[in-house]
Every structure is written in C-alpha cells, then in structure tokens.
Amino acid sequence: MNLIRKQNTWFPSLMDEFLNTNWNVTVPDYSNSSPAVNVKENNKYFSLQIAAPGLNKADFEISFENKVLLIQVIQDDGNENNDFTRQEFNYSSFKRNFKIPESVELSKISASYINGVLEIKLPKTKEAQPQQKKLIKIK
C-alpha cells in the first residue's frame, strides 16, 4: 500500500496500478552513503567539518596512517526498526579518507562533535605558518 500516490490521468487505472507497484523489491539508495564535508584553511590550521547528525561521539573512529586520515562510523544494521512503510533517513555506516598535507603537525590533531557536525582540526607546523614581517636594519 502506498501512502502517497502519483495521480496520472494519461493511463487507465489498471495500467497505473501496475506501473506504480513496488513489487516488494527494495533497492538500496547509495546517494547519501557518504556525508557532506566542508574543508577550511586559514593561517594556523586546516578544518574538516563533516555533517553527521543523529550519531554519538562514541560512534566515530578517527585514525591516521601513512599521511591518510580515516574517519569511519560502523553502525549495526539491526532489524529492530524494519517496520517502516517508507524510510528516507537513517544513520548508516560510512568511511571517508583524506590525504594529510606535509604541513600538518600530526601530534596536535583534534576533533569535536557538536550539533551533528564532526569537526577535525589539523594544525599546521610552525614552518608552514606565515612568518611575521621582520625589518632588517642597514648598517
């Protein structure tokens, strides 16, 4: 049974019923399998902001190896909420990889999760930060 039904005046009712039946076949939708990411850069750090609402801090695993930052969430696809007639959002597993620039100080990477946004700050090394203007006196 469909709650929302497309009204089509071009086809007779039987044809419309036949074409709009989902035949109990579910096709996974991969269009939203990876969260949206904003990347910022300023003089002192890079910032990754990942939209991941509905999760807890404990759901995230953030690691880096060989200059690659890996962010992942592994959710159990338990069947406790499988009684949906239609489900348009879920909190599913994902993995995102980011190559870390040479200018990042790996030991000072930090992360926070506030209001559904995971923010990871990648501070730049002192050498990569812009140096203050220095005046040189002529002798």
**pLDDT of 115 higher than 90:** yes
Single pTM value for the model: 0.65
pLDDT (0 to 100) of residue 27: 52
- Look at residue 117 in the predicted model and tell me its pLDDT: 94
Residues 6+ positions from 93 with CB-CB distance below 8 Å: 72, 73, 74, 75
Q: Which domains does the chain have, with CATH numbers?
A: 31-76+90-127 (2.60.40.790)
Sequence-distant (≥ 6) Cβ neighbours of residue 101 within 8 angstroms: 46, 122
What pLDDT is stored for residue 126 in this prediction? 81
Is 69:120 a contact under the CB 8 Å cutoff?
yes
DSSP β-bridge partners for residue 119: 49, 112
